Amino acid sequence: MAVFEVKQGTSPVILGFPHTGTEVPADIWERLNDNGKILADTDWHIHHLYDDLLSDATTVRATFHRYVIDANRDPAGVSLYPGQSTTGLVPETDFDGKAIWEDGQAPDEAAIATRLRNFHAPYHAALAAEIERVRAIHGVAILYDCHSIRSHIPFLFEGKLPDFNIGTDMGKTCDGAIEQATLTVVEAAEGYDSVLNGRFKGGWTTRHYGRPEVGVHAIQMELAQSTHLQTEAPPFAYDTAKADRLRVHLKNILVRIEQIATGLKR
């Protein structure tokens, strides 16, 4: 199987999709229990949601599922949110805290090392190569990492998650103009709510690549799935009417940060 898909563009903006993949190799699939095989924690349809919103944007998408290995986790296994409930490099449970592997079938350290080599590393090598290619063209690259999650997950957070969740690791991963432009758009989006650096402050991808001092900026957008799915449960069907309303605001964000890139050129 192809571990990743790349579409090269000429824009200074790169869209990352680490969690939309649903491919699971047969030898790993057979180790998942019935709950795991639902693949509930997929970022359902997110690559379609952003499709063609920004002409000439580069896209880098992992095709493998996060239960194989999570492309948005530190390869060293360090927690993104110490002291809070979360899932690891290779999850042992789903986002509800329920087991996803058959008894005794969770991967051991050797299996995790193999998955790091065969899946995680190639995806990030591709993403890093595109960041460098785009930065060579423009003098700056802006990585916009695309995510989604169910709006109600008591295991991970209390209450309802806002519709737009912007993560910049407390402003460390991108120029303030990028953060502010994104925040301005979502705060003005009628019928939606939003938060900056709330429960989700940007995953490993955002924190690893976001180095404004060298011209690489990164920002994560975590969308509540209620904004674009018919229901946040199987079969996780795409709601075109909801998505079309949402896409207007997402396009506005991407256009604005692309324009900002001109002023950030080194």
pLDDT in tens, the chain (266 residues): 799 999 999 999 999 999 999 999 999 999 999 999 999 999 999 999 999 999 899 999 999 999 999 999 999 876 565 555 466 799 999 999 999 999 999 999 999 999 999 999 999 999 999 999 999 999 999 999 999 999 999 998 899 999 999 999 999 999 999 999 999 999 999 999 999 999 999 999 999 999 999 999 999 999 999 999 999 999 999 999 999 999 999 999 999 999 999 888 65
Q: Does 92 fall in a domain?
A: no
CATH of the domain at 145: 3.40.630.40
In this structure, what token pair is assigned to residue 40?
A: 């509930």
CA-closest candidate to residue 45, choices 206, 220, 240: 240
Q: Range of 13's domain?
A: 4-27+40-73+118-264
Asked if the structure places residue 78 within a domain, the reply is: no
176 contact partners, CB below 8 Å, separation of at least 6: none
Q: In this structure, is residue 173 part of a structural domain?
A: yes
Number of domains in the chain: 1
Question: Is 136 part of any domain?
Answer: yes
Please check whether residue 209 lies inside any domain of the structure. yes
Give this prediction's pTM: 0.95
Rounded CA separation 84/94 (Å): 15
Answer for the pair 149, 222: CB distance below 8 angstroms, yes or no: yes
Element (H, E) at 60: strand 58-62
Distance CA 86, CA 248 (A): 31
The verdict on residue 102 lying in a domain is no
Q: Whole-angstrom Cα distance, residue 198 to residue 212?
A: 21
